Amino acid sequence: MPTRRVFLTAAAGVPLAAKAMTRAELPTPALLLDLDAFNANVERMAGFLKKQGRAFRPHAKTHKCPEIARRLIEAGAVGACAAKISEAEALAGGGVTGLLLTSAMVGRWRIERAVRLARRHPETIFSVDDAANARDLNDAAGAARLKLNLAIDLLVGNRTGIEPGERAAELARLIVKLPNLKLAGLQSYSGNSSHVIGFEERRRFSRAAMARAVETRQRIEKSGIACPLVTGGSTGTYNIDSEIDGITEIQPGSFMFMDLDYNRIGGAGGPVYRDFQNALTVLTTVISKPAKDNAIVDGGFKAFSTDKPFPPEAKGLTGVSYAWAGDEHGKLTAAGGGPVPVELGDRVEFIVPHCDPTVNLYDFIQVMKGDAVVAVWPITARGRSQ
């Protein structure tokens, strides 16, 4: 994949210099992407799903970056999932097509924006799990003289959706009767499957969840209604759900970056999940060393996601642990109270606890090949949570 040499400051978005930058020159904290690891992750996932005969629609809530979405499409993805309408708008504005909205368009303002998006990108698919909402979408589409593609959101996980089986089939029958709607298929994401510890237990859990989606599709099709799409899956279950007959599309996200949360779930080959490389890190600087046994870096709550019960992990510093020290700071200590092997001004790079919310803290991703910054990709959909 070609890389454009564009260099920006994370603060103001203005050119730093005509020359290439290095890791040592970056203002910190900085969000880094190892381009070789990223490309390897994308190639592995895209290649695997192609061999399995499954479509590949990766989730953009992970990266929020049109440049990345376009690269994934170049690698074989059929489009991108988006969690929210504002996120989808940012992606569409960046030239991304084949969008699937995984959250329902409830409320007048969402529906109006959905119609505007569908007018520009008629292939967009919207999720729905309620009959009244389907009627509202039909009315709005009729007023705009267009058709909306809908996927029925199934409650196969622990979040949103209609109960699989007959209730979902009833909603399908309503959708095909409404003149301004088209049934695209089923949205069936089992979020609580993706982080089940241990591969075999995760396989059992996810297969049971996704079987309900397959059965619902069969029920719908027996009534004479076409239901071509059954989309779901995650980084944790991509090689489980893609083996289930009836699942047509996989929508993983974290595989491209990876994080500590996914590292710990365990893979088919052992207790550590090694299917994909840790490509995303946060670079910090040691700004104070109050004593030999501790040091302070310039990355705290505002630099990393804080939703997990474990902190970031320093790369290349064996036996050194990180602890939160406030909004702007983190504290490094060594096991056993020994000296911390860093000095003032040293750079310390961290694997993040959870990639998605960490990305949402930054304006840009600094793209690295070795120690060189080869591009800077704007995180255009940062903060787009509406």
- 263, 295, 323 - which closes a domain: 263
SS3 374: strand
Cα(116)–Cα(141) distance, integer angstroms: 10
Mean pLDDT of the chain: 94
* 72 plus 183 within the same structural domain: yes
Model's pTM, two decimal places?
A: 0.93
Question: Tokens 């969840």 — which residue?
Answer: 209
Give residue-wise pLDDT tens across range 46-60.
Answer: 999 999 999 999 999
Cα(324)–Cα(92) distance, integer angstroms: 37
Could you tell me if residue 179 is inside a domain? yes
Check residue 5 and give its pLDDT.
43
Cβ–Cβ under 8 Å, residues 295 and 331 = yes
Give residue-wise pLDDT tens across range 33-45.
Answer: 999 999 999 999 9
SS3 174: helix
Could you tell me if residue 7 is inside a domain? no
Residue 87 corresponds to which tokens in the numbers above? 């996120």
* 123 plus 160 within the same structural domain: yes
H or E stretch including 141? helix 131-144
Boundaries of domain holding 318: 21-33+275-378
Residue 216 corresponds to which tokens in the numbers above? 């619902």
* 285 plus 252 within the same structural domain: no
Does position 19 have pLDDT exceeding 80, yes or no? no
CATH number for the domain that contains residue 237? 3.20.20.10
Looking at residue 59, the DSSP 8-state letter turns out to be B
Residues 124-134, mean pLDDT to the nearest whole number? 98
* 253 plus 329 within the same structural domain: no
Cβ–Cβ under 8 Å, residues 265 and 273 = yes
How many domains in the chain?
Answer: 2
Give residue-wise pLDDT tens across range 77-96.
Answer: 999 999 999 999 999 999 99
* 203 plus 349 within the same structural domain: no
Strands annotated E in 244-371: 249-250, 280-291, 294-297, 313-314, 320-324, 330-334, 347-351, 364-369
* 301 plus 228 within the same structural domain: no
Give residue-wise pLDDT tens across range 192-241.
Answer: 999 999 999 999 999 999 999 999 999 999 999 999 999 999 999 999 99
Give residue-wise pLDDT tens across range 158-200.
Answer: 899 999 999 999 999 999 999 999 999 999 999 999 999 999 9
Does position 260 have pLDDT exceeding 60, yes or no? yes
Beta-bridged to residue 297, according to DSSP, are 286, 330
Check residue 13 and give its pLDDT.
45
